[in-house]
Structure 1
Amino acid sequence: MKILRFVLPALVALSTPAFAERITLGELSRYLNELQTAEAEFTQVNSDGTISTGKLFIKRPGRARFEYAPPDKTLVMAGGSQVAIFDPKSNLGPEQYPLSKTPLNLILAANVDLSRNKMVVGHSENGAKTSVTAQDPEHPEYGTIELIFTGAPTELRQWVITDDSGSKTTVILGALQTGVSLGSRMFSIPAEIEARK
């Protein structure tokens, strides 16, 4: 799935106590459901080893925007149940995919419930980090997303998408600012298409 190469993305040192208890699935679900809006700088490590940087904006449910820094300048948007990749080098419209067919949908859903049957296929603790690997239980062929959190307080720090071909894309988040004001137009694929005409 080409989209996953662009969309999602450890080079980050996690500055929390060296040992912590594994965060429960209930607490992680609560955290994600309370995460309504957020923005952060990100570093993306692609499956071929190349690195991209940029800024991420999230407006749950169902909306995200990845603005890649020069020289890349790619824009990836999730909104209106679609994901669109705007390539500045292309004269064609954006590549579009159903959001529901990407693991990103699992964290942008209106109601995240990690305890749902067969959604979580891995849940572990490693020092200060808790890792959860999730998939769409009805469509495991869409790939998985591994979410990495720190505790006290719970915070999403990184994710790793494994697509249907086994390729991995890692996104490492900088400081996550939550409760920010984000306009709906930032996530409107039709509005972005119109603005680029």
Structure 2
Amino acid sequence: MIIAPKKLIRWGLAAMAAVATPATVLLAPATPALAAPGADMDQVVAALRAISTMRADFVQTDRAGQSMSGVLTLKRPGKIRFQYEKSVPVLIVGDGKALTMIDYEVRQVQRWPIKNSPLGALLDPSRDVSRYGKLIPTGNPGVSSVEVHDPKRPEYGRITLVFVKNPAAPGGMELASWVALDSQNKRTTIRLSNQRYGMAVPDSTFTYKDPRATGRRTP
């Protein structure tokens, strides 16, 4: 079955914004007794907090294996932009308070509070990753995986973040990918590449033109 690009984006948004069930770790875990230790939780949290700005290429894949690509821009605390490939007239931005999906083709805007999304673990400065996260064995000392969710707030969702040791990355660990899985078993995987850090990113990057007021435009 071929998934239309915008349906794939909506599935991704559902996985990021809906109540999630346990996510699948991108790297198959080894038997715990044989697994080599990776970074501890403090190192993961420190690496996450060390990111001030980041830009990276991304590939978003749904449960059927359908993929689309784009450029991700992150500015902590709380701001993110998913700029999809030119053939997709959709933009996703997070302004520190909400995630917004703008569909320029049908002139629709949808918003979700960041705190209600699994991406809150990455974006919400009030979300305590060390409190709500747990390390998942990967069997690779250079790779660390942490699953984050608040059992008292299942509506906040669940996300599994995967970090790879890289001395050139902030905190010595590079965010390589994440997985979210919603309550309808719709999994979304984001894989990052070509990560760049520390560039100047104006706050205007995380704004958008409202198509309901200005008419159709390509993001």
Output the TM-score relative to the length of structure 1.
Answer: 0.82
- Residue type of the alignment partner of 1:156: L
What is the aligned partner in structure 2 of residue 16 from structure 1? none
1:74 Cα deviation after fit: 1.7
Quickly say closer, same or farther: Cα 1:4–1:106, change in 2 above 3 A. farther
Quickly say closer, same or farther: Cα 1:141–1:97, change in 2 above 3 A. closer
Structure 1 unaligned segments of length 5 or more: list them.
Answer: 14-18
Quickly say closer, same or farther: Cα 1:102–1:184, change in 2 above 3 A. same
1:112 Cα deviation after fit: 5.5
1:72 Cα deviation after fit: 1.9
Q: How many residues align?
A: 183
Q: Over aligned residue pairs, what C-alpha RMSD do you find?
A: 2.6
CA distance in 1, matches of 2:175, 2:157: 20
What is the aligned partner in structure 2 of residue 42 from structure 1? 58
1:5 aligns with 2:12: yes
1:196 Cα deviation after fit: 4.4
Alignment of 1:1-150 (within 5 A): 5-6=12-13, 21-91=37-107, 93-110=108-125, 113-116=128-131, 119-127=132-140, 128-150=142-164
Q: Which has the larger radius of gyration?
A: 2
CA distance in 1, matches of 2:44, 2:96: 25
Matched-pair contact (CA < 8 Å) for 2:56–2:194: yes
Matched-pair contact (CA < 8 Å) for 1:67–1:73: no
- Residue type of the alignment partner of 1:135: H
1:55 Cα deviation after fit: 0.1
- Secondary structure of 2:42's aligned partner: helix
CA distance in 1, matches of 2:184, 2:155: 9
CA distance in 1, matches of 2:214, 2:75: 23
Quickly say closer, same or farther: Cα 1:27–1:4, change in 2 above 3 A. farther
CA distance in 2, matches of 1:172, 1:179: 20
Quickly say closer, same or farther: Cα 1:192–1:70, change in 2 above 3 A. same
Matched-pair contact (CA < 8 Å) for 2:41–2:134: no
1:132 Cα deviation after fit: 0.9
- Residue type of the alignment partner of 1:22: G
